Amino acid sequence: MVGHAFMGAAHSHAWRTAGRFFDLPRRLELTAVCGRSEPAVRAAAERYGWESYETDWRKLVERPDIDVVDICTPGDTHAPIALAALAAGKHVLCEKPLANSVAEAEEMTAAAERARADGVRSMVAFNYRRVPALALARELIRQGRIGTVRQVRASYLQDWLVDPEFPLAWRLRKERAGSGALGDLGAHSIDAAQFLTGQRIASVGALLETFVTERPLPAEASGLSGTAGSERGQVTVDDAALFTARFDGGAIGVFEATRFATGHKNAMRIEVSGSAGGLSFDAESLNELGFYDRAEDAGTAGFRRILVTESTHPYLDAWWPPGHLLGYEHTFTHQVRDFVTAVADGADPRPSFAEGLRVQRVLAAVESSAAALGVHIPVPS
């Protein structure tokens, strides 16, 4: 694994846990973790249970005792690490968004497709696909339980940037992160919308805003927390992104991704309205799915709450008795389970790099539209 901050911690936990709850076709060994600072990566290896560590990812990807490279670094290093790992014949799991640009994502997808011919697999870590409630929503949509999908309402709301003195972390620098709330949060919503509906976003019209354009430079490397130093620097990404979308199957959608939704910490919400019913999800109530069935008697019909904890629900057979809840970390454990199972079966793990590229194209179209003051820009297929 390369990177050991927030996502590195979540992925470490998942690599450690997946084989203990799911019957995996392979035994997992946490062979090595990589980070630039020796003391920090040594501490991470100890804390998360990695057998060894490296300070140069180039050395890591060449190691003969490694089969899988898991990329948990900021976006600017996804492409070089993934390209080197694929060239060295390692299966690759890469954090989202796939890259910082469409050109990088195209190169990564082409490399993944070449490597696939030699049995090497790759996947993008859109972990919300592995929330049992969202996996169930997809099953219900596929079964036709809400009829023809007509509308998607997706918002991803956080508020960790409301304080103008919050430091200029890497997520606020375009050269490191690619974009702001759009790529960090909007990418999840785009993937979830396409995953749930089975339709692809065909065009978008958008608005981006940066409310606080200058912030204190961080005193130390900081993620979602950190202390401010005395110098200041420019914020070069969006704080909030709004866009509308047309899907290729006839649906339309409205999206909001923001780090300025005061009071909301991690509200990844999505609602799908169909001709026969509706579905509604909020990650802050992770174990629940709202379901409205138009066939029910109008006098008593209404959105009802499905508690997604039955052993018949996706992923739940490995966990606790009904009503005993799962959390954010389980989504990463499910991701490892699906990735390892696909790799061992010689199947294609999803979402593929091609699907990650598709999301990247939507992100780019959103930026083009915003630059053109909301003009709808077709997304090339």
x/- string (CB under 6 A) for ligand SOE, residues 229-268?
A: -------------------------------------x--
**Which secondary-structure segment (H or E) carries 200?**
none
User: Rounded to the nearest whole angstrom, what is the least distance from the CB of residue 295 to ligand SOE in the complex?
Assistant: 35
**Could you give the CA distance from residue 34 to residue 363 in angstroms, rounded to a whole number?**
29
Determine, following the binding rule CB under 6 A, whether residue 280 of this chain makes contact with ligand SOE. Answer: no
Q: Between residues 17 and 266, which has the closer beta carbon with respect to ligand SOE?
A: 266
| Smallest distance, ligand SOE to C-beta of residue 232, A | 22
Considering only residues 47 to 66 of the shown chain, the ones binding ligand SOE according to CB under 6 A are none
Residue (86 or 261) nearer to ligand SOE, CB: 261
State how far the Cα of 294 lies from the Cα of 346, in Å rounded to an integer.
Answer: 41
Amino acid letter, 61: V
Nearer to ligand SOE, 180 or 216 (CB): 180
CB of 306 to ligand SOE, least distance (A): 23
208 in Cβ contact with 182 (< 8 Å): yes
Bridge pairing between strands 304-307 and 288-293: antiparallel
Minimum CB–partner distance for residue 7 and ligand SOE (Å): 7
Q: Which residue is nearest to ligand SOE (CB)?
A: 184
Is the separation of the CB atoms in 177 and 171 below 8 Å? yes
Residue 320 touching ligand SOE (CB under 6 A): no
* Subset of residues 217 to 236 that bind ligand SOE, contact rule: CB under 6 A: 224
Distance CA 269, CA 256 (A): 10
CB 29 within 8 A of CB 50: no
Task: Give the shortest CB-184-to-ligand SOE separation in angstroms.
Answer: 5
- CA 301 – CA 293 distance, rounded (Å): 7
Q: Choose between 184 and 367: whose C-beta lies nearer to ligand SOE.
A: 184
What distance in Å separates the CA atoms of residue 130 and residue 35, rounded to the nearest whole number? 27
Which residue lies nearer to ligand SOE by CB, 72 or 379? 72
158 binds ligand SOE (CB under 6 A): yes
Q: Are 160 and 215 in contact (CB under 8 A)?
A: no
Of residues 224 and 347, the one with the C-beta less far from ligand SOE: 224
**What is the dihedral sign for C-alpha 259, 263, 266, 268?**
negative
Shortest distance, CB of residue 131 to ligand SOE, whole angstroms?
Answer: 11
Q: Specify the residue, 54 or 355, whose C-beta has the smaller distance to ligand SOE.
A: 355
The residue ranges of DSSP E strands in 223-367, in sequence order, are 228-234, 240-247, 252-258, 267-274, 277-282, 288-293, 304-307
Least CB distance to ligand SOE at residue 115 (A): 25
Pick from 270, 277, 335: nearest CA to 301: 277
Cα separation of 187 and 164, whole Å?
A: 24
Residues that contact ligand SOE, how many (by CB under 6 A):
6
Does residue number 6 form part of the binding site for ligand SOE (CB under 6 A)?
yes
Fill in the per-residue mask, 103 to 142: x = in contact with ligand SOE (CB under 6 A), - = not in contact: ----------------------------------------
- CB distance 51 to 31 below 8 Å: yes
| Residue 266 Cβ vs ligand SOE, minimum distance, rounded to whole Å | 6
- Beta strand 214-218 with 228-234 is antiparallel
- For ligand SOE, the closer of residues 309 and 331 by Cβ is 331
Distance of alpha carbon 337 from the chain centroid: 16
**53: phi then psi, degrees, rounded to nearest 5:** -145, 160
Token pair listed for 310: 């039955």
Binding flags for ligand SOE, 176-205, as an x/- string (CB under 6 A): --------xx--------------------
CB of 249 to ligand SOE, least distance (A): 26
Binding site for ligand SOE (CB under 6 A): 6, 158, 184-185, 224, 266
